[in-house]
Amino acid sequence: MALRATPLLKPEESRVHKAPVVVNERPLSFSAATLRTWGTKSALSLVDQGLTSGAGFIVNIYLARVLAPNVYGAFAVAFTGLLFVSGFHNVLLLEPLSVLGPSRHADRLVRFFRAQIAVHAVLVGVLSAAVLLSGILLWRVEPRNPLVGAILGAAFALPFLLLLWLARRMCYVVQLPSTAVAGSGSYLGITCAGLFVLARMGRIGSFSAFALIGLASACSTIPLFHKLGLWNRAPSPSGQLSWREALRGNWTYGRWLVGSTVLYSISTQTQAFLVAGILGLGAAGILRAMQIPSLAMTQIVTATGLLILPAFSHDFGRGSTGRIRHKAVLVSASLGFVALCFCLFLAIEAGRVEHVLFGGKYASDAWIMSVLALVPVANACSLGYSMALRASHRPDYDLAANAIVAPISLISSICFIRWWGISGVAASMALCFALLNGITFVCFSRFFSRNKLGVGMEND
């Protein structure tokens, strides 16, 4: 079924670096119909993110329960490396897809999506080759290291997992979260079935877990592309959009975020590598296990971001800066309250949560869960502000914030690990996320206070 999208912009309004045309803004409507529509889409977005993340949580929880800490630590370190590599895919493909699709390509989304698939093939080919090369080099140096199988498995899973993320993001661009839910449900079902088969065969390990993730992702992506009409190769009257043209547009938007991704990874992901290097792979496995509950809350925050970023981009294309500002405050306040309640729950019930998830295997470190839960609280409180800046084509603010926080994170992580061990990592992460998202709020306040009338909102 081919997509039919109503153009959001006139041709003259979609030029690169053009300030949006200011329109007469209507106040936000909170009618029953509006609340029902957004409530349904929000619920579907949460279900979609929950199904996809649920598969990852099931794999992580099962591996944490049955594998030796150092073997699970190898999986955790490799998975952190996969997340680091996927960050470049996010800023050079997924975020430009969400921002540029609704604002500049609303009248030719199918062609735009196909071009982005080609960009994905080129980008992921380079990233997967880099991961594979690192695994081979480690195997040559230390063939019995548990990291070898984990890294090789991650190299296999990477292109298929990111392709599923791309297909799901396309569903959000066209405001069809129900279609994304179907793909996520398929992914969860295949992953659970495959995990059961591997367990029965006694083949559970880091490589087989990554291979299962890749296979489940590939099988779940196919029906999504069919639903989006991407298999229909009927010629377009206005011609095709080349992948080079799409990549140039992505780079124009995401070039600031490439540096930001590196800096953000220093702030948020180097802790796993530092723990593995200083305290050992077993400690890295414990840290990952204690992160699982907070990662669940983080996924809820992420799901909300997936839903609101295209909507914010639509408002920006129409020049509705007041609506963006009001929505940002509402999203941050409501999500921040939910995340804070979750953190308080973990502070009270961390021991029981650990017993349910891991059967008492990490009981002495269970209290760290509540400290790590401060990370999604900080993220939730600033999500609306961060998405508003990105939708306004100002990702350079994100780069500036990460440039400030990255060195603080690196220094505090090294010092805190040596002083307090794993608990020091949790304290460093909570501190740096709070600082990062505080800076984001300051940037949002300064930017939108200067542009209440839509003046100077072009990407400098």
Residue 23 lies in a domain: no
Q: Are 55 and 192 in contact (CB under 8 A)?
A: yes
pLDDT (tens digit, 9 = 90+) per residue, 402-447?
788 888 888 998 999 999 988 898 999 898 889 988 888 888 888 8
Does 371 fall in a domain? yes
Taking the whole predicted model, whether its pTM rises above 0.85 is answered as no
Does residue 126 fall inside a structural domain? yes
On the question of pLDDT at 233 being above 70, the answer is no
In a domain, 308, yes or no: yes
pLDDT exceeds cutoff 70 at 16:
no
* Residue 405 belongs to a domain: yes
Give residue for tokens 């290097």.
Answer: 277
Please report whether residue 460 resides in a domain.
Answer: no
**Stretch 128-152: mean pLDDT:** 90
Q: Which domain holds residue 103?
A: 38-450
The rounded distance, in Å, linking the Cα atoms of 194 and 347 is: 34
In this structure, is residue 433 part of a structural domain?
A: yes
Instruction: Indicate the number of domains in the chain.
Output: 1
Burial class (CB in 10 A: 0-12, 13-18, 19+), 184: buried
User: pLDDT, tens digit, for every residue of 325-377?
Assistant: 888 888 888 888 999 999 999 999 999 999 998 988 888 899 999 999 999 99
Domain assignment present for 120: yes
The predicted-structure confidence for 172-211, as pLDDT tens digits, reads as follows: 888 788 888 999 999 999 999 999 999 999 888 899 999 9
Query: CA separation (Å) from 184 to 96, 141, 217?
Result: 22, 38, 9
pLDDT recorded at residue 37: 59
Is a pLDDT exceeding 50 seen at residue 4? no
Alpha carbon of 219 to those of 32, 223, 393: distances in Å? 38, 8, 34
